[in-house]
Amino acid sequence: MNQVDYLRISLIDRCNFRCQYCMPEGAELNYILKQQLLTDEELLTLIQEVFIPVGFSRFRLTGGEPLLRPHVVELVGAIASLPQTQDLSMTTNGFLLAPIAQKLYDAGLRRINISLDSLEADTFDLIIGNRGRGRWQQVWDGIQAAHRVGFDPLKLNVVVIPGVNDHEVLNLAALTLDRNWHVRFIEFMPIGNEQLFGDRGWVTSAQLRQQIRDRWGLTDSQVRGAGPADVFQIPGAKGTLGFISQMSECFCDRCNRMRLSADGWLRPCLLNEAGQIDLKTALRSGVSTAQLREQVKHLLDIKPEINFKGRDPGTVGTYTRTMSQIGG
């Protein structure tokens, strides 16, 4: 079991896209009210007085769409400035990124993951919910801005959906040939989208790797991340290819993270809510941060037994929350 030192922090559950795999059509979305969100002050208190003292040193800001969070640049700066923060990153859809990429970098953000599920504008619109033309270009502009500013590594996340964007795998992989970008292919998961998943199933990472291997060859990469991706490289390419195989290859024993929801629930596992702690209510009720530290320590101790392991690869479960509500 890896040391659990990585906390994914959902800043907001809302998003300006409605992607098929994240907020499927027909899903009931009960958004968190503003007053139910952790305030900036509460979040920083939890980071400084609870999470850092029990061993967390790496933080990823997620959503929904984290760039919708008011004062996000200032919040990034506050977390980045903590001496115990060893790594601070963000996952975004990139739509609002271009105008503030430099500000985020100057505030201390150095790593960023941007969702890019298609290089085709029409397919992109289909995946994100057909919410207006020009969205692909605005996301692409955000990616280019992040590249110019100097985010390194710059990672592009691709959820591969059969019959939708799986024909683009080689074109997306080719982005790594002459750019130091890291393209990560993520297996399609049944979270809040069981009907869509049941109709389509998923493409395994092994199948994707074989497509790329047949075209260019594929070698193990010397670049290693701290997350669940298995990293490869096209021979001679500047960037890398990562494969996150949560459906076909269980990696629960390598899990080194917990998740803090936008309304303050600390959850030890993406797919298992056992042991979750309502830190916001406790904090607002006057529970001391020392007591909260003890609760989090206990959750860390039992996390190996909570991790959603032991299922057969490809087993489809039923989850009450959508991916956007979980925080990815």
In a domain, 17, yes or no: yes
Whole-model pTM over 0.75: yes
Q: Binding residue per annotation — 259?
A: yes
Q: Which of 152, 123, 138, 227 is nearest to 184 (CA)?
A: 227
Residue 228's pLDDT is what?
Answer: 73
Residue 200's pLDDT is what?
Answer: 54
CATH number, domain containing residue 47: 3.20.20.70
Residues in the chain predicted with pLDDT less than 50, given as ranges, are: 193-194, 197-198, 310-319
Q: Binding residue per annotation — 81?
A: no
Q: Binding residue per annotation — 269?
A: yes
In a domain, 190, yes or no: yes
User: What is the β-pairing status of strands 257-260 and 219-220?
Assistant: unpaired
In a domain, 1, yes or no: no
In a domain, 41, yes or no: yes
Q: How many domains does the chain have?
A: 1
Contact residues for 92 (Cβ-Cβ < 8 A; gap 6+): 63, 65, 66, 67, 112, 113, 114, 115, 142
Q: Using one digit for the tens of pLDDT, what is the confidence trace for 171-224?
A: 999 999 999 999 999 987 665 544 554 455 678 999 999 999 999 999 998 766
Q: Binding residue per annotation — 252?
A: yes
Residue 318's pLDDT is what?
Answer: 43
Residue 311 belongs to what domain range?
6-326
In a domain, 13, yes or no: yes
Residue 158's pLDDT is what?
Answer: 96
Residue 245's pLDDT is what?
Answer: 75
Q: Binding residue per annotation — 250?
A: no
